[in-house]
Amino acid sequence: MNDEKIIKQMHESGEMYLETILILSEEKPAVRSIDICEHMGFSKPSVSRAVGKLKADGYIAVDKSGFITLTESGRAIAERIYDRHNTLENIFMIMGVDQQTAEDDACKLEHYLSNTTYEAMKKYFEL
């Protein structure tokens, strides 16, 4: 199954968790559920449920110490969403939107924008 079909089947919250795990893994040597809680501002039970679902679906692995890593398919989705976020944020700032609003709007749109529109925007803004 290609990444676009996987992304369409995954809910926005799952994408947000994968993106967060990617970001945290670039900042920390190991990612734990508590790190996700702190970064996203979610409760431990909410994160625990999401981690369990992502693990069951094969997007992450959790070792015996509780350290979380992205699987190949999880990383592909996370990188795609993170790239969309950064590109959209840059486009909005080029258009004159302040950084905070650009970041907030990019976070919302990264999950819903079609590939066709996203690629057209990248081409138009030469990103």
All structural domains of the chain: 3-74 (1.10.10.10), 78-124 (1.10.60.10)
Q: What are the helix and strand counts (H, E) for the chain?
A: 7, 2
Per-residue pLDDT tens over the stretch 54-98: 999 999 999 999 999 999 999 999 999 999 999 999 999 999 999
In the prediction, which pLDDT does 10 show?
A: 62
Sign of torsion over alpha carbons 92, 93, 98, 99: positive
Query: Which class for 97: exposed (0-12), middle (13-18), buried (19 or more C-beta within 10 A)?
Result: middle
Interval 88-126: pLDDT, tens: 999 999 999 999 999 999 999 998 899 999 999 999 998
Residue 8 has pLDDT above 70, yes or no: no
What is the identity of the amino acid at 51?
V
Q: Is residue 6 pLDDT above 50, yes or no?
A: no
